[in-house]
Amino acid sequence: MGVLALLAGLLVLWMSNTHALGDSVALASKNVCANGPLSRPRPSCAPPPLRSTGDPHEDCVARINQLRWSCQCLPPLQRWKDGEKCAGKQAKHDSKRGIHAAFNDDVCKPKGRAQNECPGWPSTPEVIHGCLQAMWDEGPGKRFSKHGHYLNMSNAEYEQVACGFAKSSDGQIWSVQNFR
């Protein structure tokens, strides 16, 4: 499993503009991750944001995978394209009704097994760079009420993530990340 996780992580770094990380970070991750996933994330891990691809859904998945690999040597999640439409609907619904309202109201399918949400951010890049980092920074810990976002992002049982975005009536960006 360790070799497979290492190869998957290296693939994520390569596919996610490893040059944006810098050779030293990529080399450090390779050496640290040689034995597979870490039991806890590296302290104060905050890799520099990757360059945008121009596709916020792709950028969202790449940032989650960057945090998973660079901070804890976890294998990448696949982009769940079939779940993006529902995630976008949920973000729009929540911008009117409140955090996680759509997940609880069951407004669409497929919705995934777990959800993180970035409510009312100033821009899509700030969601991808700031909110996702803030959620990762909730870890480590096991109490879901305190560490839930991190637990969803680092859960080894999840294989896919769908990111959705919506602009609220006041111009704020809401984003939902559904995991399965």
Examine residue 118 and state whether it is found in any structural domain, yes or no.
yes
Q: Residue 125's domain spans which residues?
A: 79-179
Task: Name the pTM for this structure.
Answer: 0.84
Q: What is the CATH number of the domain that holds 144?
A: 3.40.33.10
Examine residue 45 and state whether it is found in any structural domain, yes or no.
no
Whether 177 and 171 have beta carbons less than 8 Å apart is answered as: no
* Cα→Cα distances 6→34, 42, 163, Å: 6, 16, 25
Examine residue 10 and state whether it is found in any structural domain, yes or no.
no
Whether 86 and 110 have beta carbons less than 8 Å apart is answered as: yes
Residue 24 pLDDT class (50, 70, 90 cuts): very low
Examine residue 149 and state whether it is found in any structural domain, yes or no.
yes
**What total number of domains does the chain contain?**
1
Examine residue 89 and state whether it is found in any structural domain, yes or no.
yes
Examine residue 12 and state whether it is found in any structural domain, yes or no.
no
Give the lowest-confidence range in 37-41, 92-96, 108-112, 168-172: 108-112
